[in-house]
Amino acid sequence: MALIDFWKRIEPSKENQFLHATYDAFFTFMFKPNLTTKGKGVHIRDAMDLKRTMFHVVIALQLCLLVGTFNIGHQHFVALGIHTGFIEAFHLKLVFGLVQLLPIVIVANVVGLGIEFYFAARRGHAVEEGFLVSGMLIPLIMPPDIPLWMLALAVAFAVVIGKEAFGGTGMNVLNVALLARVFIFFAYPTEISGDGPWVAAWALAEDGATKVADYYWAHTMFNPLFDAAGWSTFVQGTPFVAGYSGATPLALGAAQGWAQVDAATGEVTGGILSQYSALQMWMGGIPGCIGETSKPAIIFGAIFLLITRVASWRVMLSFVIGTALTGMIFNAWDATVFMNVPWYQHFGMGGLLFAMAFMATDPVTAAQTNRGKIIYGFLIGFFGMVIRVMNPAYAEGWMLAILLMNVFAPLVDHYVLEGNISKRLKRAKEYAK
């Protein structure tokens, strides 16, 4: 009680709208509402308010965040040709990943929440909780080397144009996190496509990617601690492996087919490409967006969301079915090397599972009716695979497929409701006879 009494004593005047909105945001984050609905009555009841619902999604993302942080460092050292074992030099990889990821998380949340607080004060209401999830999702769907000023522009665009312009949390038509990513994709395509963006510090390399940055922060902060403990330390000026490209399994599959992805070694135009085992693709030791690589981490998050009933199993299941059936059709067609990739291997490449678990299930932008959720998820799987396999300029499809179905979700619900109304009218007429 002493803690809540302290918070109540420092509550600012409501006349200062910005200050009071900021206070209210932190107060409701720390304490659950004191008012609850009764067990009886003609009303809809729920065990959680919106903030707790969003916080459950944040919890579900933590394992993806942890593995993604470590993998940033792992891919960096693989590109240098040292500490190439997945758990080798664990401390160096984790520290490097943290230093690379923290600025991305901070910029995304400072820009997004700053805009949220501003609009809350202008409208005279409490700060909305929606960006609690978007602020975690946006860093996880970005490459580790994304320039921070570009990220800030993308977040501002997504929040202002994609959310606040429609009225705020619960009113947006498009998924805010994906809108930030699509802004980067179309405004600065070289920063989020190709091979380079997936290896951290590549852009900072000297002499045209022959030498890595100086690790000044590592030498001044961490190397003395690691050296005292007898652990390996960061080394200045380590050159990248000659010809290393940082190509993702998805890029390899699109260019050369499944045999190139799973080969022990191989060479194509532009230098030697990396190959990956099924275990690497499953555990997350591959280049890619920060949060999309580890399949066990994603599945854990998906199960958590299903158990807590935050996400819809109908969307997830129909998404998987739509993807699998479309992949089987492409396997039967077999017109290109990418069509020949076994349909089940697509689940281990790119952001497919991450999109299924955390993007397609967004309760605001997805379909709302039960049958509509099934149609919605199935069509995302279908369109996502079509874009992934048949679009030569973009060997991925879930971002565009989900945004497309975000737009059509109200139409899907409309026809589902119209169908239900027609069936009920027909039954009523038959009963009246």
| pLDDT bracket for residue 206 (50, 70, 90) | very low
Q: Judge if 390 and 368 occupy the same domain.
A: yes
User: CB within 8 A of 130, min separation 6: which ones?
Assistant: 54, 116, 163, 168, 169, 170, 172, 176, 364
Pick from 389, 409, 396: nearest CA to 175: 409
| pLDDT bracket for residue 272 (50, 70, 90) | very low
Q: Judge if 54 and 114 occupy the same domain.
A: yes
Distance CA 94, CA 67 (A): 9
Q: Judge if 222 and 368 occupy the same domain.
A: no
What is the pTM (predicted TM-score) of this model? 0.85
How high is the pLDDT of residue 430?
A: 78
Q: Judge if 319 and 306 occupy the same domain.
A: no
* The total number of structural domains that make up the chain: 2
Burial class (CB in 10 A: 0-12, 13-18, 19+), 230: exposed
How high is the pLDDT of residue 19?
A: 59
Q: Which pair of tokens denotes residue 13?
A: 């005047």
Q: Which of the residue ranges 97-106, 259-268, 319-328 would you say has the lowest mean pLDDT? A: 259-268
In a domain, 5, yes or no: no
In a domain, 86, yes or no: yes
Q: Is the pLDDT of residue 158 over 90?
A: yes
Q: Is the pLDDT of residue 270 over 50?
A: no
Q: Is 269 helix (H, G, I), strand (E, B) or coil?
A: coil
Pick from 322, 417, 324, 323: nearest CA to 367: 417
Give tens-digit pLDDT for 33-51. 555 555 555 444 454 556 6
In this prediction, residues 67-95 reach a mean pLDDT of: 88
Q: Which pair of tokens denotes residue 63?
A: 């394992």
Per the model's pLDDT, the better-predicted residue between 195 and 431 turns out to be 431
In this prediction, residues 80-105 reach a mean pLDDT of: 89
In a domain, 256, yes or no: no
Q: Judge if 340 and 219 occupy the same domain.
A: no
Q: What percent of the chain has pLDDT over 70?
A: 79
Contact 168, 128 (CB under 8 A): yes
Q: Judge if 320 and 407 occupy the same domain.
A: yes
| pLDDT bracket for residue 376 (50, 70, 90) | very high
How high is the pLDDT of residue 366?
A: 92
In a domain, 63, yes or no: yes
Distance CA 177, CA 164 (A): 14
Give the residue from 310, 344, 367 where a domain finishes: 310
Render 7-41 in DSSP notation, one character per residue. Answer: HHHTPPPTTSHHHHHHHHHHHHHHS--S----SSS
Q: Judge if 92 and 230 occupy the same domain.
A: yes
Q: Which pair of tokens denotes residue 259?
A: 């045999």
In a domain, 74, yes or no: yes
Q: Is the pLDDT of residue 189 over 50?
A: yes
Give tens-digit pLDDT for 64-75. 999 999 999 998
In this prediction, residues 66-94 reach a mean pLDDT of: 89
In a domain, 278, yes or no: no
Q: Judge if 330 and 212 occupy the same domain.
A: no
Give the residue from 249, 275, 310 where a domain finishes: 310
Contact 149, 187 (CB under 8 A): no
Q: Judge if 302 and 405 occupy the same domain.
A: no
Q: Judge if 324 and 301 occupy the same domain.
A: no
Give the residue from 310, 345, 362 where a domain finishes: 310
Q: Is the pLDDT of residue 6 over 70?
A: no
The range of the structural domain enclosing residue 399 comes to: 311-424
Give tens-digit pLDDT for 97-145. 998 899 999 999 999 988 888 887 777 766 666 678 888 999 999 998 8
Render 178-222 in DSSP notation, one character per residue. Answer: HHHHHHHHHHSGGGSSSSGGGSTTSTT-BTTTTB----HHIIIII
In a domain, 263, yes or no: no
Q: What is the mean pLDDT of the chain?
A: 82
In a domain, 317, yes or no: yes
| pLDDT bracket for residue 249 (50, 70, 90) | confident
Q: Judge if 76 and 101 occupy the same domain.
A: yes
How high is the pLDDT of residue 131?
A: 79
Q: Judge if 163 and 294 occupy the same domain.
A: yes
| pLDDT bracket for residue 164 (50, 70, 90) | confident
How high is the pLDDT of residue 79?
A: 82
